[in-house]
Structure 1
Amino acid sequence: MNETNDMAVARAARLDTATLSDALDRLGIVGQCHKIKGRDPEFRMAGRAFTLLCGPASTPPGTVGDFIDDVPPGAVIVIDNGGREDATIWGDILTEIAHRRGIAGTVIDGINRDVHLCRTLGYPVFSKDHWMRTGKDRVQVERTECVVNIGGARVAPGDLMRGDPDGVVVIPRAHEEAVLAAAEEIHAAEEHIREACRGGMRLDEARRQFKYHQLQTRQ
């Protein structure tokens, strides 16, 4: 990552996903990853996407975790398993190694297992659900660093990922400056509304004054 990209990650980390979602709506970008949630409600992460596309295992089966040493520290591992819920694609060995290597988190369109360790280590895993059934001999990695689909949102390698207790959003690299600027503007307006109400202003008046109902409107 260059310095500009590091700054973008830092800016995203200061914003919550709800605000970023409103900014994406304003710009007409689908970046909300539907039904992808943290395996712990306190998980938060921000970083650049390192993407993987998975599919049903071949004969003989391929592997599911041999990519981990190629992921740079600070990246977010983004795994498209087609939303599959009958077999996992991530477990405790991957969690331990990812945590030790300083990877920012993992996002899965599918499920994982071994949630106790990711909670104990504080390593952020966001997925559709968790269950114990292994993906070995059922699932395999087909490609790495390709465009994937996560909860109906397109994720390309290097896109900006942000996760928090409300879910996960992806900010396309080509639009990140516009999205971040819009989100920062929305955040500032909402802070002004809170401060005005704390000072005694009616909520409807504060919302009118700071154009609350238009903050996410397509522009």
Structure 2
Amino acid sequence: MTHTLPVQQAPELPYTQADPDQLGTLYKFLRVVDVVDAMDGIGYFNIGLMNHDVRPLWRGMKFFGEAATLRCVPSNKPMWKLTSTEDVVAAHRLWFEKYPAERLPNDLTPGHVVVMDSGGGPEVGFWGSENAMGTIVGGAVGIITDGYARDTGELEAQGTPVVARRRGRTIIPGRIEAVEAQTQIACGGTQVNPGDVVGADDDGVVVVPREVAVEVATHARAVLLSDMRARKRHYDKLGRPGDASTDVEAVEAWYANV
């Protein structure tokens, strides 16, 4: 199968260099493995490692940002039978008019990552191609759930950065309810708090507690640069031109003021 190149672009963030007041910018070039190495280095062994089955829906996805959290539970109220095509199309609106859902604040800083605790609910495509894209347009750089996502072919074609445990088919009404926002949650076997730094790439997902996020970023940057320089020497010996993964100068320029 030919991979469709991602087309969705997150809103342009107003940063040209790392800014210690915006934790996500400290992680711009970092890989999940750099961050995990740094957490090991400060004694945070096996902390922040989400389960392997919570993974990006498409290859090449990469993002880091401060967590905005949403907690869900299985619904104990059934969806009623709909009697017209118009109502079937409007099922979500009708459900939420009767049972309003908790929502994330509208004033979240651009560059955040939405992290959702699905509450161990049934198969339900809480995140689909439209609402996930709208979340990115609203300033998120990624979405992580230990539940399901649907419309996954469109999510990949759009390049919408969604990390999920499963691919699903069903819709929300009668199956799952969002009950709390911006609260401590569990996602993929890991504690996540609002403002923690969360990142994902092809190797998986890591959560960095906010209180050590600056320290971890400092160590992880050194790990990354050491690896880039070593790989650049291998490239040179092979006569291979450099690429973004060996562009040491770009990384050093980004972190020049921190």
Instruction: Say yes or no: TM over 0.5.
Output: yes
2:248 — aligned with what? none
**Given the alignment of the two structures, is residue 33 of structure 1 paired with residue 50 of structure 2, yes or no?**
yes
Aligned length: 196
Deviation at 1:177, TM superposition (A): 1.2
Cα distance between partner residues in 1 of 2:117 and 2:40:
23
Calculate percent identity across the aligned residue pairs.
25
**Given the alignment of the two structures, is residue 52 of structure 1 paired with residue 70 of structure 2, yes or no?**
yes
Q: Give 1:22-171 correspondences, 5 Å limit.
A: 22-29=37-44, 30-35=47-52, 36-59=54-77, 62=99, 67=103, 70=106, 72=108, 73-84=110-121, 86-171=123-208
Which stretches in structure 1 are left out of the alignment for 5+ residues? 201-219
Q: Secondary structure at the match of 1:4?
A: coil
Cα distance between partner residues in 2 of 1:176 and 1:189:
20
Superposed CA RMSD:
2.4
Structure showing the higher strand proportion among its residues: 1
Cα distance between partner residues in 1 of 2:139 and 2:175:
28
CA distance change for structure 1 residues 199 and 94 in 2, over 3 Å: closer, same or farther? closer
**Given the alignment of the two structures, is residue 4 of structure 1 paired with residue 41 of structure 2, yes or no?**
no
Deviation at 1:99, TM superposition (A): 2.9
Which stretches in structure 2 are left out of the alignment for 5+ residues? 1-18, 79-94, 238-258
Name the amino acid aligned to 1:19.
Answer: D
Q: Secondary structure at the match of 1:77?
A: strand
Tell me if structure 2 keeps the 8 A contact 1:13–1:162. Answer: no
Deviation at 1:81, TM superposition (A): 0.7
* Cα displacement string for residues 181-218 of structure 1 (whole angstroms, at most 9, x for unaligned residues): 12122223323443565677xxxxxxxxxxxxxxxxxx
Q: TM-score, normalised by structure 1?
A: 0.79
Q: Which runs of 4+ in 1 moved over 6 A?
A: none
* Cα displacement string for residues 22-67 of structure 1 (whole angstroms, at most 9, x for unaligned residues): 1122223311111221111122222111101110113377456x62
Q: TM-score, normalised by structure 2?
A: 0.68
CA distance change for structure 1 residues 113 and 69 in 2, over 3 Å: closer, same or farther? farther
